[in-house]
Amino acid sequence: RIAKAAQKPEYVWEFAVIQDDDQVNAFALPGGKVAVFTGILKYTKTEAGLATVMAHEVAHALQRHGAERYSRGILEQIGQLGALAGAAAGGVDPGLAIGAMSAYGVGVALPNSRDQETEADFIGLQLMAKAGYDPREAVPFWERMSGCPRKMIGKFCFRSQNAIPEFLSTHPSDVTRINQIEAWIPQALKFYHPESSPPESPTKKPISGSVLQS
């Protein structure tokens, strides 16, 4: 349903479930290959929760974020090698070279990664709505992922307080992500037309796609 909502017939969509209960993750590859680890299912809880994850990853594939990260990674490596070569030749202070590389990561690379995550959240919310899943269900999923009650995220919650600071992370902070999604829900609801009968629970219907052992 989400692949159909993406309206990309040239993509060969493939969805796989990787059997690894310790990995709370999912990923997308260029061209329409999407995989989720079984470890994330304890947070999705419902089919709408799983749709949140799948739509997010499909959005990454649609925006070619994986290819962008790969290209940027090559350019970063070239720049790092150049800086280190300059330092080795005595033309650049080693400390300045390392500092410049670190500053690039915090000032450019990490914000770009967060921008991609935010874009995938926004597009994914609309995709799940177009596929017949209530976009409002994205909020409780991300709350469960944060491990904190909604009003305590980023404030009194032990886990959130000890999370990596947003400016050092490749993902938006929990509170930033949830606030953004809540702000986008009215727009996403314009695409939401629930089916006459609600989707079955994942506990009643197996997830389509292949199951791989990690």
Please give the C-alpha separations between residue 194 and each of 129, 133, 189, in angstroms, as whole numbers: 8, 7, 10
**Which of 81, 109, 83 has its CA nearest to residue 95?**
83
Question: Could you say which of 57, 68, 117, 137 is catalytic?
Answer: 57
- What tokens were used for 119? 């874009």
Question: Which residue shows structure tokens 């680890």?
Answer: 37
57 is catalytic: yes
- Alpha carbon distance 65, 62 (integer Å): 8
Active-site residues, by number, are: 57
